[in-house]
Amino acid sequence: MLRHFRAAFAFLLLFPLLAPSPAPSQSEDNATASLSGVRVDGQKLLSETQIVALTGLALGAQVGRSDLQTAADRLVQTGLFSKVGYNFQTRSGVVVTYHVVESPRVPVYFDNIPWFADSEFADAIRKKLSFFDGTLPEGGAVVDQAADAVKELIASHNLPVTLEHSLTPNPVGEGNVQLFKVEGASLRIAKLEFSDAALLASKAVQQHLSEIVGKPYSRMAIDLFLVEAIRPVYLRKGCLHAKLGPPEVHLTGDPNQKLPDELPVFVPIDPGPVYHWKEAHWTGNAAVSEFTLSGLMGLKASDVADGMQIEAGWERVEEEFGRHGHLEAKVSPVAAFDESAHTVSYSVTVLEGRQYRFGKMILTGLSPGAERKLLAAWPIPQGDIFDKAKYEEILTKLQLHEEQIFGELPLHYEKVGHWLEPDAAAGTVDVLLDFK
């Protein structure tokens, strides 16, 4: 609202220039002039022509202050823009320029609507939103317009279902998706087949199929299954660029007939090449040597680049910095693939963050005698560099082997709440343990 107020205020100051000799009965608020141009700057995804169309302004029309403000409001209401401002000049009429910041967009996800291909959904939406590219903002009028287009497509086939849409966390990636799904269908997954026959021989895959076969048909559920149960099979083989899906419903018979309740799902798979480990280069590390970090990856040159082991290696590296008091350390690996040699190397940036020392321990729920035993067993002296590995080791003892700390002392707790409370300014971290 503030940006609109400022835009309107600018218009209030400048608009009288458009009509220097208004009729006595005409107020400045109602002053109008012919619109001779509409410009846009700041756009990245949409063209100027597309944005001008969204304003609803027409060249040659008589416009006033409220018309330009209404056009700015209309742009915001679409959801496509996080900020909209404007200014104008008077030449042979009004030339207005809208300054826009486009909103982030998220992928559109059609979940359990197997009657149509994604291309059919896209074509239907483009009839209302010509700029649709498979993404939408997280909210706004264009999301509702896209939903209306999908509803019309469904209604044209007399399907007895109702459409719902919501912003949902991406099941297989970062951020969110605009999820479109239907209620009223009783579709289930009859079987899941793969283009790679080797998967059918995998006992691990066969054991996991029961998690998805027989369940309600959902592309989101299938995609999540592919990421959690199938992708690791390829990552362990060094197939770091394996392409899984998208899943397809393969039906035979009259396409105009009602879908059967049990759907066979086919997943095309391209394993891609097998990559081998080359090396990792480290920058930003001071507390731990490059030699140690590379050793934590557990891979030697020419080893198969086991993707699961690589992911576990990054976690071990962060844990190693935690042993040196760097509780907020983060690693950012960037892969470089040599497609001719089928090798992969990584440039890894380490952000060690603040180094913390042990401050104090706060205990609740223990008897005085139990507190004394725990303090005696605590492995990090006050003021020493905080070793997160030692902290986690004693947590394991408290939860699984409490006799190693308390001996035969009678205890009455079932679980231990545990928190770390870092003080970045002081460079200390306190430990809070709550026994219940």
At which residue do the structure tokens 């557990």 appear? 298
- Considering the domain delimited by 357-435, tell me its CATH architecture: Roll (3.10)
Instruction: Decide: helix, strand or coil at residue 21.
Output: coil
Q: Which CATH class is domain 2-102?
A: alpha beta
Of 124, 218, 131, 226, the C-alpha closest to 179 is 218
CATH topology for 276-351? Ubiquitin-like (UB roll) (3.10.20)
What pLDDT is attached to residue 28? 53
pLDDT in single tens digits along all 436 residues of the chain: 333 333 333 333 344 434 333 444 445 557 889 999 999 999 999 999 999 999 999 999 999 989 999 999 999 999 999 999 999 988 789 999 999 999 999 999 999 999 899 999 999 999 999 999 999 999 999 999 999 999 999 999 888 899 999 999 998 888 999 999 999 888 999 999 999 988 878 888 888 898 999 999 999 999 999 999 999 999 999 999 999 999 998 765 555 556 678 899 999 999 999 999 999 999 999 999 999 999 999 999 999 999 999 999 999 999 999 999 999 999 999 999 999 999 999 999 999 999 999 999 999 999 999 999 999 999 999 999 999 999 999 999 999 999 999 999 988 899 999 999 999 999 999 999 999 9
C-alpha–C-alpha distance, residues 40 and 61, integer Å: 18
Say if CB 378 and CB 361 are below 8 A apart.
yes
Contact 182, 162 (CB under 8 A): yes
The residue to which tokens 């967009």 are assigned: 105
* Collapsed DSSP state (helix, strand, coil) of residue 247: coil
Does domain 105-183 fall into CATH 3.30.479? no
Give the integer Cα–Cα distance in Å for 32 and 26.
10
Residue 243 tokens read as 């392409």
Question: Would you call the peptide bond into 368 cis, given omega within 30 degrees of 0 as the criterion?
Answer: no
The pLDDT value recorded for residue 26 is 45
DSSP state of 385: B
Task: Look at the chain and count its residues.
Answer: 436
DSSP code string of 143-173: HHHHHHHHHHHHHTTT-S-EEEEEEEE-TTS
**Collapsed DSSP state (helix, strand, coil) of residue 227:** helix
